[in-house]
Amino acid sequence: MLSLGNSGAIVGLPEQYLPATLEIELSTDATATAVEKIQIEIAKNKLSLPQCIMQLLKTNNASDISLSASWYHEASSLPHYINVNFYDPGYNPEKWANSGYSIIFNLANAKIIDMTYSQVSPDGSSSQLHPVNFSSLCRNQEIENFLDATPTP
Is residue 153 domain-resident? no
**Spatial separation of the C-alpha atoms in residues 67 and 100, rounded to whole Å:** 13
The one-letter code for the residue type at 108 is A
Is residue 7 domain-resident? yes
Is residue 152 domain-resident? no
Is residue 117 domain-resident? yes
Domain count, the chain: 1
Q: What is the pLDDT of residue 133?
A: 95
Per residue of the chain (153 residues), what is the pLDDT tens digit?
Answer: 899 988 899 999 999 999 999 999 999 887 778 999 999 999 999 999 999 999 999 999 999 999 999 999 988 888 999 999 999 999 999 999 999 999 999 999 999 999 999 999 999 899 999 999 999 999 998 998 999 875 544
Enter the DSSP assignment of 6.
Answer: G
Q: Which neighbouring-strand residues pair with 94? A: none
Give the phi and the psi of residue 40 in degrees, each rounded to 5. -120, 140
Q: What is the pLDDT of residue 59?
A: 95
**Spatial separation of the C-alpha atoms in residues 84 and 104, rounded to whole Å:** 6
Q: What is the pLDDT of residue 28?
A: 85
Is residue 39 domain-resident? yes
**Spatial separation of the C-alpha atoms in residues 139 and 147, rounded to whole Å:** 12
Of 103, 123, 102, 100, the C-alpha closest to 112 is: 103
List, in order, residues 6 or more apart from 136 with CB less than 8 Å away.
Answer: none
**Structural domain that includes position 20:** 3-146
Q: In b/e form, how buried is each residue of 13-30, taking b as 16+ CB within 10 angstroms?
A: beeebeebbbebebeeee
**Spatial separation of the C-alpha atoms in residues 71 and 82, rounded to whole Å:** 9
Q: What is the pLDDT of residue 6?
A: 80
CA contacts within 13 A on the Cβ side of 137: 17
pTM for the full model? Answer: 0.92
